[in-house]
Amino acid sequence: MMLKATSRAKEETTAQVFERRLERMETWKAALREVANISGWHLRDSHESEYIQHIVEVILHKLSSGFSSNTNNLVGIDSSAEEFITSYYDRGNKVCMTGICGMGGLGKTTLARVVYDKFCSHFDGSSFIANVREESEKYGLLQLQKQLLADILEDRNIDIRNVYQGVDMIKKRLHVKKVLLVLDDVNQIDQLEKLCGEYGWFGLESWIIITTRDEHLLVQHGVHKIFKPNSLNSDVALKLLCLKAFKNEQPKEGYMQLSQGCVRYANGLPLALVTLGSFLAGRTMDE
């Protein structure tokens, strides 16, 4: 009787081991299929040594593209980022266009940068176009289209001659890619129309983030959701000021009243608090 029970136990154990091996084999097969479907890079007329250098640069970029932002000194950013991220997950597998809107100094760009650094490695390609207003005035939208395509396609030899050709290339090359794109400090509808015109320009689960001071631009472009960061409350604002002024979360002895006055003056604006705190660092109360 005991021998039969032992034999059954061995059979069950052997069956379980076999089942685990089958599962592992299926996992390996799936991984090999995925690798086989990855398209390679064509040398075209390039020299092999130049292309190897390009491959090295791309790999280094991917290795360093994790959550590189240190949010320890970005006071109050974690809760804002968490709330903002839900706007993407709420869309399921659809393309998501989210706007971040508010006055200057409220932390729109900082929020976009933190989210970008945290999630860019989860997309087929990503691009952060900073200072769209300023850059488009200096160099034109064609240059920004080239930057967008070069970043996402990882190809620095993008050949487009005008913005209309740029629009066509963005549509054709990116409509099957899951991309993360940030357009920072947009101030004209033409910028949006030429860089992220429609949802169908990008592959499923793509995320387009637009920062601007002009809420109407976002409404006009038909973004999925408009996020408005709140100014910092007095406790968080005091902490941010003190980190910049005293390298500590609390004021130095005797500086509490003066620090609270600075906090009231800044009215919860992160940029104002950082600027004031940095300016006051190392100064006496009289100064």
Question: 198 lies in which domain range?
Answer: 62-227
Print burial letters for 170-179: b (CB count within 10 Å at least 16), e (below 16).
beebbbebbb
The Cα 116–Cα 100 span in angstroms is 13
Is 127 among the domain residues? yes
- From residue 259, how far is each of 18, 80, 192, 234, 242 by CA, in Å? 68, 24, 41, 11, 8
User: Could you tell me if 76 and 180 lie in one domain?
Assistant: yes
* 161 and 97 within one domain: yes
- Asked if 238 and 280 touch (Cβ cutoff 8 Å), the reply is no
Whether residue 88 is found in the same domain as residue 184 = yes
Both 112 and 156 in one domain: the answer is: yes
In this structure, the answer to whether residues 150 and 254 fall within a common structural domain is no
In a domain, 18, yes or no: no
Pick the residue with more confidence: 201 or 261? Answer: 201
CA-wise closest residue to 271 among 86, 76, 87, 131: 76
What is the pLDDT, as a whole number, of residue 268?
A: 76
Q: Classify residue 104: in a domain, yes or no.
A: yes
Please, which pLDDT band fits residue 95 given cuts at 50, 70 and 90? very high
Residues 71 and 204 reside in one and the same domain: yes
One domain for residues 89 and 155: yes
Question: Does the pLDDT at position 71 exceed 50?
Answer: no
pLDDT band per the 50, 70, 90 thresholds, residue 83: confident
- Does residue 30 sit within a domain? no
Q: For residue 24, which amino acid is it? A: R
The pLDDT of residue 260: 85
What pLDDT, on the 0 to 100 scale, is given for residue 75?
Answer: 60
Q: How many domains does the chain have?
A: 2
pLDDT tops 60 at residue 124: yes
Give 239's pLDDT tier (boundaries 50, 70, 90): confident
Q: Higher-confidence residue: 153 or 34?
A: 153
Task: With respect to residue 48, please indicate whether it lies within any of the assigned structural domains.
Answer: no
More confident of the two residues 19 and 181 = 181
> Does 5 reside within a domain?
no
Q: Is residue 35 part of a domain?
A: no
pLDDT band at 49 (very low <50, low <70, confident <90, very high): low
- Last residue in a domain, options 208, 227, 246: 227
Same domain? For 220 and 239 the reply is: no
| Domain boundary pick from 203, 227, 251 | 227
Q: Are residues 217 and 238 in the same domain?
A: no
* Domain co-membership, 134 together with 268: no
Same domain, 247 and 106: no
What count of residues does the chain have? 287
Is the pLDDT assigned to residue 7 strictly greater than 90? no
Q: What is the mean pLDDT of the chain?
A: 82
Query: Which range among 13-22, 61-70, 229-238 shows the weakest confidence by mean pLDDT?
Result: 61-70
Statement to judge: residues 187 and 94 lie in one domain = yes
- The CATH number for 130's domain is 3.40.50.300
Residue 47: the pLDDT is: 64
Give the E-state strand segments of 111-228 in sequence order.
Answer: 125-129, 179-186, 207-212, 225-227
Contact 125, 179 (CB under 8 A): yes
47, part of any domain: no
